[in-house]
Amino acid sequence: MVHSATEHVIRLFEQRGQGRYGSEQVSQLQHALQCAVLAKRQGAGSAMIAAALLHDLGHIIDQKAMPESDDQNLDDAHEQRAYEWIKSHFGKAVADPVRLHVAAKRYLCTVEPEYLAKLSPASLKSFHDQGGVMSQSQIDDFRDEPFAFEAVELRRWDDLAKDPQMQTPRIEDFAPLLDRLVEDL
Ligand SMILES: [Fe+2]
């Protein structure tokens, strides 16, 4: 059976997922599916595959549109907007890496300068809008988060999930995985 939370996710992506993922060459839906596929290829568990799929749900969960031009302020707090909803339906192991995926980029760019050098122009712009390089106390706070490691893993898939050529399953194909997380909560 398909749970209502799973149905809601599918509906959101069907209704609002066709918009571009910022100034990248893929849609919101393609970005989410690619991120989930990358997680799966790395042998990630169900919670992390779901986190990859849902990490940018905050961009489409309400009517606030994602900024499409890099000239705008790209810090739209999207990592927070879907947090409570994801946590209540799919659990903390899905929701917390989602909440932390923006901080994880700042963390990675701070501790791995070569990571910063590889960001796409849009990702570099949002990095600066979201606060840029972390201070030592911000690094320590991030490392203290129980899902810090998972957030960093998610972040690496996120930054690779922008390939206009990549083939993926459909959003409906992830319904059984999402359903199982709802049932296990
Ligand atoms: Fe993303």
Cα-to-centroid distance, 31 and ligand 1 (Å): 7
| CB-CB neighbours of 104 under 10 Å | 25
Cα-to-centroid distance, 135 and ligand 1 (Å): 23
- In order of their start, the domains of the chain are 4-184 (1.10.3210.10)
Enter the pTM of the model: 0.92
Cα-to-centroid distance, 157 and ligand 1 (Å): 8
Paired tokens of 59 = 């961009």
Q: Could you give the CA distance from residue 48 to residue 178 in angstroms, rounded to a whole number?
A: 11
Cα-to-centroid distance, 56 and ligand 1 (Å): 5
Q: How much is the average pLDDT of 138-147?
A: 98
Q: Could you give the CA distance from residue 59 to residue 66 in angstroms, rounded to a whole number?
A: 6
Paired tokens of 11 = 């509906």
Cα-to-centroid distance, 3 and ligand 1 (Å): 25
Least confident of 4-18, 117-131, 145-159: 117-131
Query: In the prediction, which pLDDT does 140 show?
Result: 98
Cα-to-centroid distance, 35 and ligand 1 (Å): 8
Burial class (CB in 10 A: 0-12, 13-18, 19+), 58: buried
Cα-to-centroid distance, 123 and ligand 1 (Å): 9
Query: For 32-90, how does the pLDDT look when each residue is reduced to its tens digit (9 = 90+)?
Result: 999 999 999 999 999 999 999 999 999 999 877 666 667 776 667 888 899 999 999 99
Percent of the chain with pLDDT over 70: 93
Which residues, 6 or more positions from 48, have their beta carbon under 8 angstroms from its beta carbon?
A: 39, 93, 97, 150, 153, 154
